[in-house]
Amino acid sequence: MELSLDQWVLWRWGPVVLNATILYTWLVMALLVLGSWLVTRRLSTGAKISPWQNLLEVLVAGMREQIRQISQQDPGPFLPFIGTLFVFISFSNLLTVLPGYHPPTYSLSTTAGLAICVLAAVPFYGIAQQGVRGYLSHYLKPTILMLPFHILSELTRTLALAVRLFGNVMSGALLGAILLAVVPLFFPLVMQLLELLIGQVQAFIFAVLATVYIASAAQAHEEKREALRQRPAEENQGPDKSKEDTNT
Amino acid sequence: MLINWFTVAAQIVNFLILVALLKRFLYGPIVAAMTAREGKIAAQLTEARQKRQEAEQEEASLHQKIREIEEQRQEMLTEAGRQAEAHKKELFSQARQEVEQIRQKWAASLKREKETFLQNLKQRLAQEVFAISRRTLKELGNLELEQRLTEVFLDRLRQLAPEEQTAIRESVKEAGGELLVTTAFELPEETREKIAAQVQDQFGRDLALRFATSGELLAGIELLTSSRKLAWSLGGFLDSLEEDLSQAFHELEKSEAA
């Protein structure tokens, strides 16, 4: 049992390495894209839809709803990024039911790559929503003294994301292997099922945390716009309404 | 070494590619399909609501029409009843008028018959009396009756009240001193002179007397000025008889009407 899939090298040319992690990632990507393409090439907008379309619609609608609830914003811009995070991790972990398959998330490199993507996505969405100045001013609040702490917070939470996912997936796989050695029958199967559940939970947690980080960066601008939108309404509706708003 | 940085970079690239691919093949089409379906459903709901509204309006207008028709029906019934009542009244009054007309006609014809009867009766009576008189006159002999009639007339003239005599005298003067003596028969010269002497004696010497005959008198003698008449004739008697008969019929009618 290898500790890291990265060291399972299949092909090497100078610094370019094709290892198991990348290979399995491609496999997952191929399956996802192929499956999506097969389903979405014949979409129905009527009342009758195919079961696969129904499944994908449930998935997409569920993700949109989750993003909307967590971020309190329109899920449209976030969906491709966060949705892909969830679908990729979830599907990677789900495929562990296949023998001989190792999830790419079993490699710290993969989880680190995903975490770095989140790290980059936070300023990306923040700047897209608030502009460069608006986003950067966020680091200087409430005083300039807080700047190092903000930066530290960004880095540590990225590291935490990567390690949390990797740790959970790896522990599950290791636990399965160890239990297989200790209690050969039945019990590892239950643990495997538990592991599937944990894999899905981890995918959910990763996606939710990414949403929270990105949404909090994009929030300030949204709040300002919300305030602007509500001011005339308050003037029209009197003081009672504003009290309600501050409560909520 | 747990982290292979080349792998990390490769995974980042892989992930970004996957994001792009899934956006192209999964989220885009699915979201578009869902939006399209939501739009369709919303459109259908709007259409359904519109149709329902239209149906409700239609229903309301139909209800209104039914109510109007019912009102019109009631109005027509009332109108028809009123007209029937009016027509009935009219027919009744027409019938009453007709009955009244028939009654009036009947009354008129009755009256006419009565009058005709009276007329006939009067003529018959007169004829009878005339006939009797003539027979009597024939049988009694001319001279004597004339004599008697003239004597009676002169007697009456003599016994005339003084105020009447004065009145006759006045009216003779007004008529230019002319007196008309009418008799039923041609009087003999002797009798005429006797009458003239008597009249001139009573009403003045310068009177001019004119003698005439008239069948209407039947029998008798009449003295006429322009405004006065002194007569003794069977015609006068017949007139008063006619008056008496007429009076009797009137009383009969009154008792019938009562």
| Residue B81 pLDDT grade (very low, low, confident, very high; cuts 50, 70, 90) | very high
Q: Mean per-residue pLDDT for B72-89?
A: 95
| Residue A113 with chain B: CB contacts under 8 Å | 7-12, 14-15
State whether B4 and A46 contact (CB < 8 Å): no
Inform me whether the C-beta atom of residue A84 falls under 8 Å from chain B C-beta atoms: yes
| Residue B11 with chain A: CB contacts under 8 Å | 21-22, 25, 104, 109-110, 112-114
Give the model confidence (pLDDT) of A47-85 as tens digits: 788 889 889 989 999 999 999 999 888 888 889 999 999
Residue of B nearest to A30 (CA): B18
DSSP assignment, residue B228?
-
What percent of chain A has a predicted confidence (pLDDT) above 70?
Answer: 86
Inform me whether the C-beta atom of residue B45 falls under 8 Å from chain A C-beta atoms: no
pLDDT at residue B183, as a whole number: 77
Alpha-helical (H) ranges within B141-177 are: 142-158, 162-174
Q: Residue A237 corresponds to which tokens in the numbers above? A: 């509706």
How far apart are the C-alpha atoms of B217 and B211, rounded to whole Å? 14
Q: Which of A133-137, A171-175, A243-247, B147-151 has the lowest mean pLDDT?
A: A243-247
CA-based nearest distance B10→chain A, Å: 7
State whether B15 and A21 contact (CB < 8 Å): no
Give the model confidence (pLDDT) of A180-192 as tens digits: 778 777 777 888 8
Q: Mean per-residue pLDDT for A27-36?
A: 92
What's the distance, CA A145 to chain centroid? 31
How far apart are the C-alpha atoms of B231 and B214, rounded to whole Å? 13
- Judge whether B199 and B223 are in contact, CB under 8 Å: yes
DSSP character string of B14-81: HHHHHHHHHIIIIIHHHHHHHHHHHHHHHHHHHHHHHHHHHHHHHHHHHHHHHHHHHHHHHHHHHHHH
- Judge whether A104 and A25 are in contact, CB under 8 Å: yes
pLDDT at residue A237, as a whole number: 47
Nearest by CB to A19, from B7, B18, B37: name it. Answer: B7
The residue assigned the tokens 């006759």 is B168
How far apart are the C-alpha atoms of A207 and A149, rounded to whole Å? 24
ipTM of this complex:
0.80
The one-letter amino acid at B74: Q
| Residue A239 pLDDT grade (very low, low, confident, very high; cuts 50, 70, 90) | very low
The residue ranges of every structural domain in chain B are 141-257
Inform me whether the C-beta atom of residue B2 falls under 8 Å from chain A C-beta atoms: yes
Residue of A nearest to B29 (CA): A40
State whether A44 and B3 contact (CB < 8 Å): no
Highest mean pLDDT among A93-107, B159-173, B229-243: A93-107
How far apart are the C-alpha atoms of A242 and A71, rounded to whole Å? 23
Q: How many helices (H) and strands (E) does chain A have?
A: 7, 2
| Residue A128 pLDDT grade (very low, low, confident, very high; cuts 50, 70, 90) | confident
Scored b (16 or more CB within 10 A) or e, A10-48 reads eeeeeeebebbbbbbbbebbeebbebbeebbeebeeeee
| Residue B23 with chain A: CB contacts under 8 Å | 80, 84
Handedness of CA B188, B194, B195, B196 (dihedral sign): positive
pLDDT at residue B139, as a whole number: 65
Give the model confidence (pLDDT) of B65-77 as tens digits: 999 999 999 999 9
DSSP assignment, residue A78?
T
State whether B33 and A53 contact (CB < 8 Å): yes
Inform me whether the C-beta atom of residue A13 falls under 8 Å from chain B C-beta atoms: no
Give the model confidence (pLDDT) of B87-141 as tens digits: 999 999 999 999 999 999 999 999 999 888 888 887 777 667 656 765 665 566 5
Inform me whether the C-beta atom of residue A88 falls under 8 Å from chain B C-beta atoms: yes
